[in-house]
A and B are shown apart, each in its own frame.
Chain A
Amino acid sequence: MIEFYILAFVLIASAIFVIIASKPVYSVVGLLVHFAALAIMFFSLAAEFLAVIQIIVYSGAILMLFLFVIALLSSGVAPFSLGSDRLPKIAVPATLGVVVILGFLIYGLAHIPAVFQPSPVAQSASGSQAGPVGAADVFGSVGDFGKALFTTNLLPFEITAFILMVAVIGVILLAGESAPYVQSRRRARIVEREMREAIMRAGEE
């Protein structure tokens, strides 16, 4: 029970930090802490698969994306050149945050079986019941989740794939090659054709 309140405090504090940070990179770090705490919270809710997905996808991919864009847009902004000055400011809160997170991660992993007990009447939609973490076919396990995803909810899954494809295409179109290149490409082809014809005419002479 106490874990919940500590985790809640961390979540709220990091969220507030995200929105009040003066630099975008600070916000990314804050968001990272937030996601980690959230993953632990998911663990406490017997959603193991999703907790791991949260860390891999959200913190691993999306936040990296944010960082790349920050880098792209921060060219010419002065603070990034002051690299060494940054560190002391980030270091203390980051370290503390990492410590807290790790601590909770360890504590949670150690105590999770004791957080919730399997209820005799509990039965999930896919027939899985509550059980210890890591066990197969209990509620929240990978197997249980996979079974639900690929049988009952196959259509949403396929649609998700579609959404991702749309996103990829959209990003490429938006931020992809710009017009002059295409024009220059066409010009290149025209030039190429003219050259070929000149050579052929030269060859006939």
Chain B
Amino acid sequence: MPHESLLPVALINYISLSLVIFLIGVAGVVLRRNPLIMLMSIELMWNAANLLFLAFARAWLNNAGHIFAFLVITVAAAEAAIGLAIVVVVFRSRENVDVDEVAILKG
């Protein structure tokens, strides 16, 4: 049962905020050509999810939300590391840092 009284504002606000940040992150992934910006936008998306987890954990007084948020942070870190490694490897010997130029999966 949501104990909405525990939250500063109603739960719906957290949901909509999280959604907005998530969509901004999506927009960043799709609209930018720099791979680093794309990775950062992915981080935005992770954080939006984290926010939601913690909001509900607080509302329902359930620790599982915290645990999951912790896991999310960890995995996001790992993913960022690997993603950056890939970016480094792929774009090390290139002129420009543009994802559209790496379209070798075409066809």
Q: Which residues of A contact B74 (CB under 8 A)?
A: 57, 160, 163-164
Q: Complex formed: what's the CA distance from A46 to B61 in Å?
A: 10
Residues of B participating in the A interface, judged by any CB pair closer than 8 Å: 3, 5-9, 13, 17, 20-21, 24-25, 27-28, 31-32, 34, 36-37, 39-41, 43-44, 47, 50-51, 54-55, 57-58, 61-64, 66-67, 69-71, 73-82, 84-89, 91-92, 97
Given A125-B61, A140-B66, 4 additional A-B pairs, CB 8 A: A50-B69, A66-B39, A70-B36, A73-B92
Q: Which residues of B contact A12 (CB under 8 A)?
A: 17, 20-21, 24
Contact between chains at B63 and A15 (CB < 8 Å): no
Which 8 residue pairs spanning A and B have beta carbons closest together? Answer: A19-B28, A167-B78, A148-B63, A171-B85, A15-B24, A174-B85, A124-B61, A45-B58
Count of chain A residues with Cβ under 8 Å from any Cβ of B?
Answer: 71
Q: Complex formed: what's the CA distance from A66 to B77 in Å?
A: 11
Contact between chains at B34 and A24 (CB < 8 Å): yes
Name B63's contact: one of A58, A61, A122, A145 (CB within 8 Å).
A145
Name A124's contact: one of B13, B20, B34, B62 (CB within 8 Å).
B62
Q: Complex formed: what's the CA distance from A67 to B55 in Å?
A: 30
Stretch at the interface among A1-9, A84-92, A191-199: A1-9
Q: Which residues of B contact A50 (CB under 8 A)?
A: 50, 54, 66, 69-70, 73
Residues of A participating in the B interface, judged by any CB pair closer than 8 Å: 1, 3-5, 8, 11-12, 15-16, 18-19, 21, 24, 27-28, 31, 34-35, 38, 41-42, 44-47, 49-50, 53-54, 57-58, 61-62, 65-66, 69-70, 72-73, 115-117, 119, 121-126, 128-130, 139-140, 144-145, 148-149, 152-153, 156, 160, 163-164, 166-168, 170-171, 174-175
